[in-house]
Amino acid sequence: MLEKAGYSLGDAAANLVYMTIITFQLYFYTNVMGIAAGIAGTILLVGRFWDAFFDPLIGILADRTNTRWGRFRPWVLWTALPFGMVMVLAYSVPRLSYGSMLVYAVATNILLMSLYSANNTPYSAMTAVMTGDVNERTSLSQYRFVPVVLAQLLVGGFTLPLVARFGQGNAAKGWQTTIGLWASICVACFAITFLSTRERIKPVAHEKVSIRQSLGALRGIGPWIAMFIVALCHFTANSMRDGTAIYFFTSYVNKDRMFEFLRGLGLPSAADGGGLGYWLLNTFGLVINATRSNVSSVAFSLWTMSGQVVLVIGVLFSTYLSIRFGKKAVALAGFALTTVFMAAFIFLPSGNIQAIFTMLWLRSACYAPTIPLIWAMFADVADYAEWKTGRSTTGVIYGTVLFALKLGLSLGGFLAGWLLSAYEYRPNAPQTAHTLLGIRLTISIFPAILYGIIVAALCFYPIGKKLNLRIQDELAERRKPA
């Protein structure tokens, strides 16, 4: 249990970065750095597209790493401090000309995403070498994703309030200080993950394999093709939707209704003052100020946190559901229902705050069990490839999956930025009905279409419960010492 908990902290740390990327990076570029939405979307595309090609290379390098700590585990330690430092740089606003600022944004984005690859590709591959038992892998993924959701709750719920709290009117200072706090937590968590985990599964084949052979081994592996499509569409949709959610709250949702809703929950305003509860909320920036200028950020934070709480609860059921019905069946049902509730956001009126919160909870409840299962299914694909070819390509499998993830992040961020531009979004200004429609479509119908493609891809994913157990048994027999 302690090893599982230690392993999970590594992904919690990575998600402090991931959550800031998909939720706030586009907003940071447009509303803090002052970069036009279309150009900001292109910056995201360039950085993440480069990084998508970097992922398979890291997977190949990790497969060839040979240390007394294993193949994948050392990378978590080696990249920890550089990762934290670059994270702070990526959310800093130096005094530069507009052109130089664009170059700075591109460079720091590329560095951040490259370090994310160098850390997270080997980290993700550790699932396949820490244990060979399929149910233990699901349990490991469940342990992994509970802290992940808590990390996402932390970032989604407290970033904007802390930016306001630390910045005191200086947004650039607030962002740098807040991200510095998240980066410090990241470095500590990566160190704990390295110290608390062990690699147990050794590759059967010891012959040298070329890069071309490693990539060529994936040809004809049906489950890999299906999961590549799932990863690509999944993270394109999430990046598009989550990157636009803050615009949905700041531009579309009615601020007077938000204030009434928050007051109905008992949340204090600056006029209330006093008390321990007030002091705690004020420390994290969750007190409504006298001018109500932070109503949107406070409501967005509570909306995000409440959704993450539902996700945490849902993730806890993933192991039971996968053992009872199989990973594929649970993932298929979860993504299908998520598609419906995501699309339904288009119908929500701006003044019905209760409906906006409720729809998020329904979507989160259906989506939650799929979170750990998808990553456990990637480990199953690695086993399937070894079972079929007799060659261990775990690092390459995860590298190509993370290629799809990063490509999805790049496409989602690019599409969100250019859709905002196409619908004539103007930073820090009232928006037209045409712009508001674009924002609403980008958090509902457009990502729901991509989730529909995920459902179709999973229908062709062949590793059901029976085949999964067969592969586990046959690989366990092959891995026995001669």
- Enumerate the domain spans of the chain: 2-201+213-475
Q: How far is it, in rounded angstroms, from Cα 119 to Cα 115?
A: 6
Q: List the alpha helices (DSSP H) in 248-294.
A: 255-264, 276-283
User: Is residue 414 within 8 Å of residue 25, measured between CB atoms?
Assistant: no
- Is domain 2-201+213-475 annotated with CATH 1.20.1250.20? yes
Structure tokens at 364: 């989160």
Q: How far is it, in rounded angstroms, from Cα 147 to Cα 144?
A: 6
Q: What is the pLDDT of residue 207?
A: 47
Q: What is the pLDDT of residue 52?
A: 67
Which candidate, 75, 56, 54, places its Cα nearest to that of 126?
75
The amino acid occupying position 395 is G
Structure tokens at 373: 């299962």
User: Could you say which residues of the chain have pLDDT below 70?
Assistant: 52, 128, 132-142, 144-145, 202-220, 270-276, 390-393, 395, 479-482
Q: What is the pLDDT of residue 138?
A: 64
Q: What is the pLDDT of residue 178?
A: 95
**Maximum CA extent, the chain:** 75
Neighbours of 349 (CB within 10 A): 12
Q: How far is it, in rounded angstroms, from Cα 391 to Cα 383?
A: 10
Q: What is the pLDDT of residue 335?
A: 96
SS3 480: coil
The amino acid occupying position 14 is A
Residue with tokens 């609860």: 313
Residue with tokens 């049902």: 333
Interval 293-314: pLDDT, tens: 788 888 898 899 899 889 888 8
**DSSP 8-state symbol, 467:** H
Q: How far is it, in rounded angstroms, from Cα 452 to Cα 260?
A: 36
Q: What is the pLDDT of residue 407?
A: 83
Question: How many CA atoms are closer than 13 Å to the CA of 6, on its beta-carbon side?
Answer: 15
Structure tokens at 265: 């929950």
